[in-house]
Structure formats: structure tokens, C-alpha cells
Structure 1
């Protein structure tokens, strides 16, 4: 018992030191901040009712219609080129499918909740651009209050030269007052009482907020997996054997690193990430559930493609990405990862055995790849792709209450079997 405790203490110290040494702040260009003439009512979220794009590949304008003025903060990012607009929590009542098609410098844009009280709009750009003008206009001449963002094309060298960008930003916001800070998004801590010694199971519904995940037939992955995760939480909690916490319980964006950090901070005994895949039409019509574990080398091309897509979630949500360390020089981390991967693989096999009794499985149901969300070195972790939203039959299952209930039951049974075997083989003093 003491040896295992010392192992985890040393591992935590190593990871904290590595994080401190490798942490760096990355900023591209300058930020634009603005304050409206009057703040929105605290009891009523502002409503965004319509949006328009105008212009060409040299200059592009974005206009968002609101029912009241709001504060905002806008800033550009590179690799990939994006513009992020952080605003107070807004009720987006925009036409279906808006943002999937762009214009001019804007390839596409997404929007959603990134934290309680804060929303975000993420613009994917065709190339480097500067924020030439950004302001909130009061209602006038029959027009509602509007958030207006104007982008201008620049070359890469100019984009990365902050002195070249700052004059344009400063000119656009002479009286700007910072109100909405760039949110540092992290799941709310859910701390157990000192006497609660039950194993902790972390359930991680993928995507959220401006990151919709895959979409098909009017259904978004982020909503489908959240519904499944909430049902799984409720099922597990009824048994009372485990303390269950979730990385998100609503339509909020959580960066991948925060999901991993959350599981470690909770001293999780198991981490289950829930997703639903999709394939481009040219790659056929795959179907069935798949269970993924972490590995340095993908088990096949499809696993590699999926890992690459899922690992881009932070870029989709507008997170400022930094390079992860390629090597951390401490043998403790390697040893912990080996043990953790063994437990992860054991749970994956148990999960497959249970799930195949209630739902259709992929022809190769056990796979592995380098998913960032599975990289906690001391938390057994799996990622479940419940099915393919791009497959008609799978999508019918994903929206079915009956299918969800049966599949949730099979996952809960697998969790019971995993912990029963782990406790039985642990022996006294472990």
C-alpha cells in the first residue's frame, strides 16, 4: 500500500515539474475588447437572432444581430488561422446550418457556450488576416444592436508581426474597456468527502459548445453523446458502488488537456470518453460501435484518421494550442503508463464482451490510436465510439431511447466486472 502511494506521489511531482518547465504562453496579434453603452440585464441572456457575411477574399465583414448591446473580446490565432470572439453567454437563435458555409476570408464559423456565463464564436480563415475593425453598434434606424467584425487579408509575415497589427486594432477601439476575459475553461471540481472511498469513474461526453463533433440527419454528436453520458451516470449512481463525475453536463466546450487534468485531479480509477463517429462518403459506410485505447501507433488507418480528427477538437473550440512534450525524462511515467495501458486494455475487452450482447459492434471492435484525451498516465482510459452518425441504421439506434437504455446497461455491467476483477487481483495492502 505504501509503495503504491509513494509511486503515485512521485508521479504527481514529476508531472507537475514537467508541466511547469514546458508551459509557455502563446499569443498571436492583439486583442480587441469593447464595452457597450449599457450592460445586458443580468436575469436575461442576450439573444442573437441573425447573422450575415459580406465582402470578398481581401475584406470580409461579419454582422451578428442582437436584442441588446454586449461586451466582447476578439483576437486572432495561427496554425490554423482563426479569429476568436469571446462574448457573454448568449442565446443563439440562428437559422439551422448557419456557419457551415463561409465567404471571403471566412471558411466557416461555429458558436456555443464555453463556460457558464461565456459564449464563443470561432472563425476558420482561409489564410492570415487582421482584425481591421470590431465594434458593437447600438440600435438605430430600425436596425437592432449589432456586433460587427471586419477582417482584412495580410501576409504571414505581417500577421506574425504584432507591431504591424496593433495600430489597426487600437484604431478600432479607442475607448475599449476590457470586460470579458479570455476564459480559462475547466470542468467544475466535484470533490468527494473524506469518508467517500468509492472508486471514481469519470464520464467524458465528447465535444460541446462551438465544437459540434460529427453531424448528420439534423443530429449533432455533442448532443447525442451527452444524452448517453447522462443516462450512464444515472445508471451507475443507482448502484451506489462508485462516485461518478462528468467532464461536462451541458453544452459547454472543455479543452482536451482539461479533461485529462480533471480525471487526474479526481484521482479517477476509470475514465470513459463517449463519442459517435462518421466517415466521408468516399470511405464507405462503416457501422457499429468501436472501443479505443491509447497507443503510440494506430492499429489501422481508420483509427489514425479518427485520432487526428478528435485531437483537433481544441483548434475547433478556439483553444490556443501549445506543443506537447515529445519526451519526459523519468522512468516513473513510463512505468505508470505501462500499468495503466494494461488496465485500459483489460477494461476494453470486458466492455466489448458486454456491449456485443446489446448493440451492433464494428467488424474490428477493439482498436488503438494516439488520442490526447486518453493520455493520463495513471488513469485507465477508453474512448467509446457508439456508432456512426453517417450510417442510417446506427443513427436510428443513437436517437433511440430503448437502444440507449440497453447499451448503457451493458457499459455499466462492464464497469462492475472491471472493478470486481481488479479488487479481486489486488490482494491485501493494495
Structure 2
């Protein structure tokens, strides 16, 4: 009797377990289904799944780029995940071809474009403005765009942007340029001077001063390079990224004091032409312009380390300063900017018209900056130098260019990527700014 009772109890438990499993089956995901069963949950899962599709716009993706051909005919192929519109045009001195496309996410292998082939010496790519990307080809000599088109996806191949270059003589090349880009059709000096006061619309919208006058001194912080112009590179680190992070940290530190207004020439990975950086300072009536960079020394020139502070001079203080100025002044060529808009005569006039007072203030700030920075950062053996940097040529704005260190030097690079080092160096620069304006207001009256 007892055995029969036990048997009935066990049978009842088994039936209850089976019923529980049957009831649980529709809502409980199996180990194999995982998240899929959760997505099948009515209402909530549908809303969660659909929201990202509407809220996250995506840009075309470039997954591969390659060159083919020889010194007579060379083809460039860019693999995309969808078709895009594009505009291609040549530029002279140096020979280049520029391709503008809508904003593209470049997922290309590291080093793509560094090595050329045939008529292409090298090519660069990147964001040149919000919503727009650019590819710039450095040519080995005069060449024309013989053909350019976008192919549909077919036979297992993705959509592709194709450019075909063909060797030509210089006369033919110059004739292929738009009239405003031809070397023999430079604008008159008076026209260039008239254009010098114009800020690009995108910059103007971002930098329009407040309607209520603000008497605080305005400081322009200029992180070098950006977008298609990476600057120097070493150890997987790019100058444009390092100096942008430093510039933003410096802006935050200065603004925190409440004593100054601050404008950045760029706050993201965007290419800004050199002359537009100067125009920002001039049109905003800046009281100080600080350009932030990080140098690199070619291997054949040995090793160097430490921070250097540069002021403007029509004659470089030494060979290294001249080399650096030449390299930085080529940034517009990298970005594909039409340099014929700024004849050398205009640059020479700007230097000649630079006020003595402005140079004096620039040199004074450079000395103050060196004094403060040497307490927190390693300085170059010759920390104060001068050269003809185009970005320092505002005749009425005290300006300096700070090379934070050498990315080609292991110890300097460790500092440049260190948040602790950055915070200390930013603090020393903020102290130099305080000292500069305290002395300037005491000796020269109110700031602009």
C-alpha cells in the first residue's frame, strides 16, 4: 500500500513538471536561439529593433583602394558599398588631381596611398568638411583624367569609383585646368587682398560672435592639420589627432577661468586651409593666436626631442626651422587647395606690413610660454626659434606656433599620448597666457 502511494506521488510530480515545461515553451528561449527568441517578443522587441534604423544615418564605406598601370596610363580603383556622386579636377604646381565625394567612411588598410604607381606618386584621403570627403593624388608629372566613372555592383564585385590617368605634356595639362586654376592667370594683388577678409561660410556660421559685446580678450587655438592632412605619423599615432586633443584640453582649461573667450579653428577631424586659420584670428579680432603641432624628424637626420616655440620671421633662425616651416606651409597642397589664390607677392606684403608692436608681443609671449612650459615639459635644446610660417602671418595678432615634441622620438611620443603629461602642460600654457595678458593690460591698456 505504501509502495503504491509512493508511486502515485511520483507520477503526480512528473505530470506537474511536464505541464510546467509545456507552459514555459512559448516564451523561454533555447540556448541555440539566444537573442533571437528575445527579438520575437511582441511590441517591445519590434520597437527596439526598428529604432536604430531611423536614428543612425550611415555614410558610404570605402573598403579598398588600388592602383594599376604604368607611367603612360594609370588606373585608380576605389571599392565602395554603394554608388556615390563625385567631382574630379586637376591642379598645377605641384601636379595634383583632386576628387571630391560626399562624406565617406574610409576603412582602408594602414598605409594605403603612401606608395604610388605609374603616374601617381601617392594619394591621400579623408574628411575635408562636414558632409564632404576628398582624395588628393600627387602626380609624378603632368597627366590628364582620361576617363572617370562609377561602376554598378556586378559579378560579385562591389560598386567602384574608377579614374584613368594619361600622361600629357605641360601645355596640355595647363589647358585642362579651370581658368582660375591656371598658373598664368593669378588674381591681382588688390583682388587677393579683398578676398583676404572673407571667412568661408561654414567657419563664419560657427564663429559668429555674440550680439552682446564681450570685452574679454579672445584667444584662437589652432590645432594643426586635420581631415585629409594627417601631419606627421609615428607608432600608429597621427599628429592631427594628438594636437586636436591637446587643443581641446587647452580650450577647456582657459574657458574655465572665465577671463577669456576662446575660438578653435577646428574642433573635429576637418581640413582647414592655412589662410582660413589666419582669417579666423583676424575677423574675430583675436588678442592671441596659438597654433599647436608635433614635429617629426626624418630618420636620416638623426633624433631630436623636446618642445619648441616659433614666432614669425621672414628669415628662418636655423636650417631646422626653415625645414619645418616649408613642411607646414605645404599643408594646403596636401589638401588640394588652389594656392594661386594667394600669390607670393601678397605674403611678402603681409610680412612687410606686420606691425612692430605685434612682433614684440609675439616674442614676449613666446618667452613667457617657454618659462612656464619648462617646468612641466621637456624643452628642445634651442626652444625659441623663428621662421616664415604662413599660419603666423596675421599682421595685427600676436601669434606663436608650439611644437609640443617630436613624434619620431620615443620618449616624446610617450608624453604626447599621456593624459597626465597633457594636463600638466596645458596648465603651464594657461599660466603663461595669464602672465601675458596681465602684463599687456598693464603696459598697453585694454586688450582688443
Decide: shared fold, TM above 0.5. yes
2:124 and 2:87 mapped to 1: Cα distance? 16
The answer to whether the aligner puts 1:227 opposite 2:245 as a matched pair is yes
1:90 paired to 2:107: no
Structure whose CA Rg is larger: 2
Residue in structure 1 matched with residue 265 of structure 2 by the alignment: 247
Q: Where do 1:20-419 residues align within 5 Å?
A: 43-162=57-176, 187-188=203-204, 189-193=206-210, 194-322=212-340, 323-326=342-345, 336-419=354-437
Mapped partners of 2:242, 2:354: distance in 1: 33
Q: 1:13-46, CA deviations, whole angstroms, 9 ceiling, x for partnerless residues?
A: xxxxxxxxxxxxxxxxxxxxxxxxxxxx993211
3-state secondary structure, aligned to 1:249: coil
Q: Deviations over 1:127-153 (max 9, x none)?
A: 010001111111111111110011011
Classify the secondary structure of the residue corresponding to 1:414: helix
- Look up the SS of the partner of 1:394 in the other structure: helix
Give the deviation of 1:333 after TM superposition.
8.3
Q: Which residue of 1 aligns with 2:44?
A: none
Residue 97 (structure 1) shift: 1.2
CA contact under 8 A between 1:294 and 1:371: conserved in structure 2? yes
**Whole-Å separation in 2 of the counterparts to 1:317 and 1:429:** 35
Q: Give SS of 2:125's match.
A: strand
Question: Structure 1, residues 254-287: CA drift from partner, whole Å, max 9, x if none?
Answer: 0000000111111100000000001111212011
Distance 1:328 1:295, change over 3 A: closer
Asked whether the 8 Å contact 1:185–1:255 carries over to 2, the reply is no
Contact 2:441–2:447 (8 Å) recurs in 1: no
SS in 1 for 2:270: coil
- Mapped partners of 2:56, 2:249: distance in 1: 32
DSSP-derived class of the 1:326 partner? helix
Q: How many residues are aligned here?
A: 371
1:12 alignment counterpart: none
Q: What is the CA–CA distance in structure 1 between the aligned matches of 2:250 and 2:75, rounded to whole Å?
A: 44
Displacement of 1:163: 9.4
TM-score (structure 2 length as normaliser): 0.79
For residues 107-132 of structure 1, give each alpha carbon's deviation from its aligned partner in whole angstroms, at most 9, with x where no partner exists.
Answer: 11111111111100000011010001
More displaced stretch, 248-257 vs 314-323: 314-323
Partners of 1:394 and 1:333 in 2: how far apart? 33
Secondary structure of 2:203's aligned partner: coil
- 1:324 shift after superposition: 2.9
Structure 1 distance, partners of 2:257, 2:446, is 25
Question: 1:278 and 1:291 mapped to 2: Cα distance?
Answer: 15
Q: 1:328 to 1:313 in 2, by over 3 A?
A: closer
Q: Going by fraction, where is helix more abundant, 1 or 2?
A: 2
Q: Would the aligned equivalents of 2:317 and 2:385 in 1 still touch at CA under 8 Å? A: yes
Shift of 1:334: 5.1
Q: Which runs of 5+ in 2 are unaligned?
A: 1-54, 179-199
Ranges in structure 1 where 5+ consecutive residues have no aligned partner: 1-40, 165-183
Q: Give the deviation of 1:192 after TM superposition.
A: 2.6
SS in 2 for 1:159: helix
CA distance in 1, matches of 2:207, 2:440: 24
Match of 1:30 in 2: none
- CA distance change for structure 1 residues 340 and 151 in 2, over 3 Å: closer, same or farther? same
TM normalised by structure 1 equals 0.82
RMSD of the TM alignment (CA)?
2.3
